[in-house]
Every structure is written in C-alpha cells, then in structure tokens.
C-alpha cells in the first residue's frame, strides 16, 4: 500500500492515512487502500481500531479535488458510491473504530470520521463540510450522517455555509466525544481502545450492531432487535466467563468465543 500505514500494538490497530503532500486527500487509490487496511485488521486478535492522518496538519482534507474537473456525472456518482461503500464498511466494522482527528477533517475527511464509531479531536482540529464552496455537495454520506449525529438544524447550517468549526465547537455540538492536546490525542484514543479490548469481543460487536441497525428502526423494532442480540450473547463462552468471574470476584479472561 502506498498511502496507508498499519501499526499493530497488541489488540489495537492504528490505520494512518499518509499522503502528506496533499493533506491526506482521499483519491480513489487512498479509498481502496483504506478498505484493504480494514480487511487486514479484521482479525481475531484485533479488538479496536484507531484511524488517523499522518503529520500534524490533517486527518484528511477531503476528497481529492484535483480529480473533480475531469469527472463525468457518472464518474462522480461512482466516486461517491466508492466513498460511501468505505463509510459503510467502517460503520459496519465488527470492532469499534475511533477517529483520531489530528487536524483538518474536511469534506470526505469529515465524512470518514462521521462513519467511525466515535471521534476524538486534537485542540487544533478543524472540521467541516466545505463542498458548497466548490459547487458540489457531500458525496460520502455527510448529508445523512451529520444530521443523525448533531441534529438537522446544526447540520444544515454547517452543510450549507461550508463553515469549518474548531474542536471546542465540535465538542459542544456533539460531533466529537472529547478533545485532547495534540500530543495527547493518540494516547487518549489508545486508552479508550485498550478499555474496549478488555471486554468480551462478541458483546462489543453485537452492541455496535444493535446501535447501528436500531437507529434505523422504530423503537419497537429496535427493542426487538436488542432482545434477540442479548439472547445471542448467551451462546458465548465469554458470557459464562464474565458472569462466573463476577461471582468469583476475579477479573474475567475473555477469549472471543
Ligand atoms: N484535494 C487535493 N489536494 C488537496 C486537498 C484536496 N482536498 N486539500 C489540500 N490539497 C493539497 C493542496 O492542493 C496543496 O498541494 P500543492 O502543494 O501541490 O499545491 C497541499 O495539499 C497543501 O494544501 P494548501 O492548500 O497549500 O494548505 P493550506 O494550509 O494553505 O490550506 C486547507 C489548508 C485545508 C484549508 C486547504 O488545503 C483546503 O481548503 N483544502 C480543500 C478542502 C476542501 O474543500 N475539501 C473538500 C473537498 S470535496
């Protein structure tokens, strides 16, 4: 892979977009490599993933604008579908994916972060959907995921003005879960990832499924789904181990089985 680095330390994988001369802009090749990287870290030993950008300046400054002028409408649609497929793959990933937003997360970069299960921003981050400045609109899911995360009114303001917000505002509107000093960003994400890594992997994966699918359903259907997934956890060895460990007043040793 030319633009993606994978660093594995114990149960945590860090996927880094490394195309610094273009502020980690998302060309079709970068999107393909990100998808490949997710496949590579979808192994039993990995329990959580951190996604970030190389350098101090950008998480990803958006889709690669240099590709745009030559696109036909059909090529533009294919590009949007490629970005959306990657966003869906991140969202449906069976291990939590944490976006470590280390700088600009604009356009497609913001949309990738929105597809992650949680977001932590450096104090220096700038986040936004500036597509309207270019005469285009979001294509990787921003018009759908941003309102679901921050509410329709705030999302529409950001989407129609193209205004980029700082980390403090992102925290206030619920776009990010927490803000960290730039040097503390990866350690903060690592700490969350390690907490997750200590839990029962299937219970974590089923929780992701319940929340992701449940939010697209009526409350009644979502509650039904939850009851069925709750029942599924009772088929796992980890459920026996977790409850037994509690009763024996010891720390559980989860195996993912
Ligand atoms: N696509 C392609 N290249 C990009 C890019 C993008 N989305 N964002 C930045 N780059 C490139 C620049 O063209 C520049 O390349 P060059 O050195 O070959 O000219 C390099 O990255 C550095 O960017 P530059 O604009 O010089 O940095 P800056 O610090 O002055 O500004 C930004 C940073 C993020 C404000 C500015 O790059 C920007 O507005 N980028 C586009 C953001 C955007 O609209 N994204 C949505 C796309 S749909």
Give me the DSSP letters along 130-158.
GGGGGT----SSHHHHHHHHH-HHHHHHH
At 179-203, the pLDDT tens digits run 999 999 999 999 999 999 999 999 9
Averaged over 15-29, what is the pLDDT?
97
At 199-248, the pLDDT tens digits run 999 999 999 999 999 999 999 999 999 999 999 999 999 999 999 999 99
Read off the pLDDT band of 136 (50, 70, 90). very high
Decide if 194 is catalytic: no
- In the chain, where do the E strands start and end? 4-9, 12-17, 48-53, 58-60, 97-101, 104-106, 118-122, 126-128, 165-166, 178-180
Spatial separation of the C-alpha atoms in residues 90 and 98, rounded to whole Å? 10
Q: How far is the CA of 22 from the centre of ligand 1 (A)?
A: 6
Question: For the chain, what are the domain ranges?
Answer: 4-197, 201-247
Determine whether 167 is exposed, middle or buried from the number of CB atoms within 10 Å of its CB (0-12, 13-18, 19+): buried
Which ligand 1 atom is nearest residue 104's CA? 34
- What is the CATH code of the structural domain delimited by 201-247? 1.10.12
Read off the pLDDT band of 108 (50, 70, 90). very high
Q: What is the pLDDT of residue 194?
A: 98
CB neighbour list of residue 21: distance below 8 Å, 6 or more residues apart: none
Say how many C-beta atoms besides its own lie within 10 A of residue 44's C-beta. Answer: 10
Helix (H) or strand (E) holding 31, with range, is helix 28-41
List 91, 111, 123, 184, catalytic entry: 111
Q: Which candidate, 173, 167, 30, 199, places its Cα nearest to that of 100?
A: 167
User: What six digits make up the tokens of 83?
Assistant: 């970005």
Decide if 111 is catalytic: yes
Q: What is the pLDDT of residue 35?
A: 98
| Ligand 1 pocket mutation pick from 19, 22, 23 by most atoms within 8 angstroms of CB | 23
Phi-psi region of 116 (alpha: psi -120 to 50; beta: other; left: phi over 0): beta
Q: Would the CB of 238 count as within 6 Å of ligand 1?
A: no
Read off the pLDDT band of 34 (50, 70, 90). very high
- Whole-model pTM over 0.85: yes
Q: How far is the CA of 185 from the centre of ligand 1 (A)?
A: 23
Return the CATH superfamily for domain 4-197. 2-enoyl-CoA Hydratase; Chain A, domain 1 (3.90.226.10)
List 40, 67, 131, 184, catalytic entry: 131
> What mean pLDDT is reported for the chain?
97
Q: How far is the CA of 2 from the centre of ligand 1 (A)?
A: 19
Q: What is the pLDDT of residue 215?
A: 95
């Amino acid at each position: 892979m030319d633009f993606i680095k994978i660093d594995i330390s114990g149960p945590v994988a860090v996927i880094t977009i490394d195309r610094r001369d273009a502020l980690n802009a998302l060309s079709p090749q970068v999107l393909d490599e990100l998808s490949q990287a997710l496949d590579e870290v979808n192994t039993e030993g990995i329990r959580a993933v951190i996604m970030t950008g190389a350098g101090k300046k950008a998480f990803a400054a958006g889709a690669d604008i240099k590709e745009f002028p030559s696109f036909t409408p059909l090529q533009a649609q294919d590009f949007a579908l490629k970005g959306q497929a990657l966003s869906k793959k991140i969202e449906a990933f069976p291990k939590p994916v944490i976006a470590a937003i280390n700088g600009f997360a604009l356009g497609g970069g913001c949309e990738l972060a929105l597809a992650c299960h949680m977001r932590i921003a450096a104090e220096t981050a700038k986040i936004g959907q500036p597509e309207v400045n270019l005469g285009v609109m979001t294509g990787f899911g921003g018009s759908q995921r941003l309102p679901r995360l921050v509410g329709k009114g705030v999302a529409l303001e950001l989407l129609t003005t193209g205004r980029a917000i700082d980390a403090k505002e992102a925290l206030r509107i619920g776009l990010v879960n927490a803000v960290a000093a730039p040097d503390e960003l990866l350690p903060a994400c690592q700490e969350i990832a390690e907490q997750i890594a200590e839990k029962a992997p299937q219970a974590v994966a089923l929780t992701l499924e319940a929340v992701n699918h449940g939010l697209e359903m009526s409350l009644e259907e979502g509650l039904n789904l939850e009851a069925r997934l709750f029942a599924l956890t009772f088929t796992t060895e980890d459920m026996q181990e977790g409850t037994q460990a509690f009763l024996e007043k010891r720390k559980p040793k989860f195996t993912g089985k």
